[in-house]
């Protein structure tokens, strides 16, 4: 009976019942292929949805089809603003296509790799024709018709090609439209404003500033020369069919920071959000002030619900990632562009699109890439490994941090025999040729540190990752971590750990006047650690100096990482480096073509990396340049567990 069904089953049953009411007749289309809201609206109304909700669903999904609107309505059933008549904000852009678009996409990708992300990357390449303006849901179809009519009246007199001139300043690089031609474009925008006021009763304010395509904005001063050089490589004389494109955004979140959900999360408390990969979260500093450290307070795009969520389950997204596409029109080919709308997510530029922009807006399949629907992907489906991958991981929880330096005197007697005094201490330790005092500078990991490492290995196994090579710092804590990762991967004994002294942390951080007396690989193998005793290091211990400079450490890390990747090329796809917190930054930053940070900023980054902090990078083709990507595993978070003495706590007078 229905009373015995789970709420989610009831929801699915209701959806199936409603979908059966949808008449399989062909929906009415206009001559550009647009699904008219009228026919879709009639179907939704016949299914029992209130008109305001039906219109909001159609507009929020770009008018793609009835099923997309139904899915939106069911996912927003608890949205507190579902019946709010608040209109959306719209904007009209000119978007390049064809050869010029390929040039710009190449610049976008190269600039991001060379100098990192700047504010220009928040929105795809475009020329702004008007300010954002509001339009009621019931007027959106008329607004689209106004744009179509205006473009139609301008065919044959739209300036083509547009003369573009490179302009550079200390914090801006762009392509400006020649002034006379810019005035013609502003006339087009004014005509659209008039048509929109007549047909849709909306007020559109044409853009009055200089018209341009922004290439780079708000970047670091030391990146100016590199960005300018790349910008000069853009051939503005190439052909281009400029498209008039209409987008909208939710006005409530116009000034919010946009975050992309990377991992699923099941709420533990009533005030927490359920997270599905592929969804987006809107967050403001005001909302964030009510959240505790490590948590974010925001609103889900997929459900409209607000709540708390773990900060390390999301990452920053681009501003336009949540915009809705409402159609594009060509000035030269009336039959080419489609007006069919699209849903949210990854509109024009995204790492998942390999940095490519659409080159054929007339291809219906292109619009699917242009505005793909929000897909709730599992971590497994997201973690398809590229041709060559580099993983860098910090070691597990270390003994001297948990128990203090005095752990050695607590656990070793006068004869050097080891006895643990806490369950989180390992039951046994390798014998050292220099005596147990060598543990002072080269401590082991705790039992929980071993568990942390095994969990990471098990997660890699679940993601179908196969580690071809493992390189490791000579520190015992790193070797033990790598060994336990291989245990979790079920590759213990199959894959040997290559101990590489060049991966040791910045030697300035070592106390005293000498480096640690590390356990030799042969002794580690004798202690049942999966170590390759035949491996010859790229940088031997003799080449490491005490209190090396920051520049020396950064150069050393880059050199050894490059040599490791060269050594493994054509022999395996995936390399795992297990080393120190500093390694995640030092072994990957320059591999991306980025300049090293200064020592102060570097230290701040390192302090934020926890035990088993994990990052991943992929090689971009055969360029030798790598880019950071999402790891194939979830993050590992845990809380502190303080020492407990029952006598002191429970047996008080």
Q: Which residues are designated catalytic?
A: 394-395, 580
Of 450, 439, 457, nearest to 495 (Cα)? 457
Whole-number Cα distances in Å, 622 to 335, 350, 618: 39, 21, 11
**Residue 413: alpha-carbon gap to chain centroid:** 51
Going by the DSSP 8-state scheme, the letter that residue 321 receives in this structure is G
| Exposed/middle/buried for residue 401 (C-beta within 10 Å: 0-12, 13-18, 19+) | middle
Q: What is the DSSP string of 353-377?
A: GTTPPPS-TTSHHHHHHHSPPP---
Pairing of strands 243-249, 324-330: antiparallel
| Exposed/middle/buried for residue 615 (C-beta within 10 Å: 0-12, 13-18, 19+) | buried
615 touches 389 (CB < 8 A): no
Element (H, E) at 112: helix 98-115
Q: Within 201-273, where are the H helices?
A: 224-232
Of 344, 387, 276, 310, nearest to 629 (Cα)? 387
Q: What is the DSSP string of 160-180?
A: SSPPEEEEE-SSEEEEEEPHH
132 touches 254 (CB < 8 A): yes
| Exposed/middle/buried for residue 318 (C-beta within 10 Å: 0-12, 13-18, 19+) | buried
């Amino acid at each position: 009976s229905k009373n015995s069904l789970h709420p989610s089953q009831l929801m699915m049953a209701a959806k199936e019942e409603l979908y059966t009411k949808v008449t399989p007749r062909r929906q009415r289309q206009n001559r550009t292929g647009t699904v008219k809201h009228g026919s879709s609206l009639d179907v939704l109304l016949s299914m029992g949805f209130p008109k305001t909700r039906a219109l909001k669903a159609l507009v929020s999904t770009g008018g793609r089809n009835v099923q997309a609107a139904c899915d939106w309505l069911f996912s927003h059933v608890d949205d507190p603003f579902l019946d709010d008549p608040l209109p959306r904000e719209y904007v009209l852009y000119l978007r390049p296509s064809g050869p010029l678009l390929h040039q710009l996409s190449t610049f976008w990708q190269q600039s991001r790799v060379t100098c990192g992300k700047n504010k220009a990357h928040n929105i795809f390449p475009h020329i702004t024709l008007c300010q954002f303006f509001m339009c009621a849901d019931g007027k959106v179809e008329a607004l689209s018709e106004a744009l179509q009519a205006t473009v139609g009246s301008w065919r044959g007199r739209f300036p083509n090609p547009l003369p573009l001139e490179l302009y550079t300043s200390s914090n801006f690089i762009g392509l400006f439209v020649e002034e006379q031609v810019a005035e013609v474009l502003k006339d087009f925008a004014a005509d659209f404003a008039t048509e929109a006021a007549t047909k849709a009763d909306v007020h559109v304010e044409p853009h009055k500033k200089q018209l341009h395509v922004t290439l780079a904005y708000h970047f670091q001063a030391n990146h100016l020369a590199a960005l300018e050089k790349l910008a000069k490589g853009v051939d503005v004389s190439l052909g281009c069919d400029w498209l008039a494109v209409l987008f909208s955004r939710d006005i409530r979140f116009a000034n919010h920071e946009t975050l992309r959900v990377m991992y699923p999360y099941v709420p533990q408390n009533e005030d927490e959000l359920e997270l599905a990969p592929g969804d987006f979260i809107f967050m403001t500093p005001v909302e964030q002030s009510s959240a505790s450290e490590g948590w974010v307070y925001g609103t889900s795009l997929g459900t409209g619900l607000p709540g708390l969520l773990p900060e390390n389950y999301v990452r920053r997204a681009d501003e336009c990632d949540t915009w809705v596409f409402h159609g594009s029109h060509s000035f030269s080919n009336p039959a080419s562009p489609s007006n069919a709308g699209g849903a949210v997510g990854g509109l024009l530029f995204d790492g998942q699109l390999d940095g490519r922009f659409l080159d054929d807006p007339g291809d219906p399949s292109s619009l699917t890439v242009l505005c793909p629907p929000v897909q709730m992907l599992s971590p497994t489906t997201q973690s398809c490994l590229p041709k060559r991958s580099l993983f860098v991981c910090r070691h597990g929880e270390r003994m001297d941090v948990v128990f203090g330096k005095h752990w050695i005197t607590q656990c070793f007697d006068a004869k050097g025999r080891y006895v643990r005094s806490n369950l989180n201490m390992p039951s046994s330790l390798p014998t050292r040729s220099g005596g147990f005092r060598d543990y002072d500078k080269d401590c082991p990991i705790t039992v929980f540190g071993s568990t942390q490492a095994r969990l990471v290995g098990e997660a890699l196994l679940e993601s179908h990752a196969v580690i071809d090579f493992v390189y490791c710092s000579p520190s015992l804590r790193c070797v033990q971590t790598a060994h336990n990762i291989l245990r979790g991967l079920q590759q213990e004994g199959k894959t040997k750990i290559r101990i590489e002294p060049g991966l040791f942390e910045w030697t300035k951080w070592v106390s005293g006047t000498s480096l640690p007396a590390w356990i030799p690989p042969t002794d580690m193998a004798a202690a049942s650690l999966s170590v390759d005793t035949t491996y010859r290091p790229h940088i031997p211990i003799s080449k490491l100096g005490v209190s090396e400079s920051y520049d020396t450490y950064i150069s050393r890390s880059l050199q050894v990482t490059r040599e490791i990747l060269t050594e493994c090329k054509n022999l395996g796809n995936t390399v795992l480096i297990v080393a120190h917190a500093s390694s995640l930054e030092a072994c990957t930053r320059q591999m991306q073509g980025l300049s090293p940070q200064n020592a102060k900023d570097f230290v701040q980054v390192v302090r934020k990396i926890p035990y088993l902090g994990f990052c991943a990078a992929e090689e971009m083709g055969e360029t030798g340049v790598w880019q950071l990507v999402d790891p194939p595993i979830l993050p590992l978070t845990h809380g502190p567990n303080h020492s407990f003495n029952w006598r002191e706590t429970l047996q008080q007078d």
